[in-house]
């Protein structure tokens, strides 16, 4: 009955992503701005569940937004979010989680030393969780606002440092979770 288990894992991870959005941003000592945890959950979906299940978990969250549930950080949701200029950054979660998961299956061997494993996870989170998401979000923003791609990209630059920190955290968390509860990545 692995199929039921897959549905449960996808749904539980979607619930984790939603719950992480309900949590107030965490203040880390060395960072001036508190970091929100929801996009951390998106990176972790791919890294822990693998490409297909991770992407499905994000897709499930997108579906919840579309049907009008306040599941995004700050109690936001509804079609206004998807239709708005930042809609691409939400929809980008789905391919982003897929690429993160795919890269994790390709780049990591659980038996590798900690540093190498975490580095590979970090790379996967950056490429999938940041590059791919922005690759969807920026053109979407450019099209909505009538900007060129460069200008739209510049506008989102301020979020990159925070996202890089999240990628580091995600890599460390993913490794710890893999060791405590090994799962095959699908």
Positions that interact with other proteins (CB under 8 A):
1, 4-5, 7-12, 14-16, 18-20, 22-23, 26-29, 35, 37, 40, 44, 48, 60, 63-64, 66-71, 74-86, 144-147, 151, 155, 169, 172-173, 176-177, 180-181, 183
Nearer to other proteins, 22 or 149 (CB): 22
Nearer to other proteins, 11 or 149 (CB): 11
Q: Least Å distance between CB 60 and other proteins?
A: 6
Mapped onto helix, strand or coil, the DSSP state of residue 32 is coil
CA–CA gap between residue 61 and residue 91 (Å, rounded): 10
Q: Least Å distance between CB 84 and other proteins?
A: 5
CA–CA gap between residue 167 and residue 169 (Å, rounded): 5
Backbone angles phi, psi at 35, to 5 degrees: -100, 135
Q: Least Å distance between CB 184 and other proteins?
A: 13
Cα-Cα-Cα-Cα torsion 143, 147, 152, 153, nearest 10 degrees, comes to 100
Count of other CB atoms within 10 angstroms of residue 34: 12
Place of tokens 């992407």: 55
Q: Least Å distance between CB 8 and other proteins?
A: 5
């Amino acid at each position: 009955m692995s199929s039921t288990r897959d549905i449960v894992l996808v749904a539980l991870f979607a619930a984790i992503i939603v719950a992480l959005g309900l949590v107030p941003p965490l203040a880390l000592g060395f960072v001036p701005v508190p970091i929100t945890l929801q996009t951390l959950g998106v990176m972790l979906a791919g890294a822990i569940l693998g490409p297909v299940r991770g992407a499905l978990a994000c897709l499930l969250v997108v579906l919840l937004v579309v049907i009008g549930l306040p599941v995004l950080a700050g109690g936001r949701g509804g079609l206004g979010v998807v239709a708005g200029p930042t809609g691409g950054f939400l929809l980008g979660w789905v391919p982003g989680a897929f690429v993160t998961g795919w890269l994790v299956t390709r780049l990591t061997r659980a038996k590798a030393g900690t540093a190498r494993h975490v580095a590979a996870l970090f790379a996967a989170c950056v490429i999938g969780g940041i590059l791919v998401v922005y690759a969807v979000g920026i053109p979407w923003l450019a099209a909505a606002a009538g900007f060129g791609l460069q200008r739209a990209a510049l506008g989102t630059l301020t979020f990159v440092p925070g996202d890089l920190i999240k990628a580091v955290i995600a890599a460390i968390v993913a490794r710890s979770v893999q060791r405590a509860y090994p799962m095959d990545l699908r």
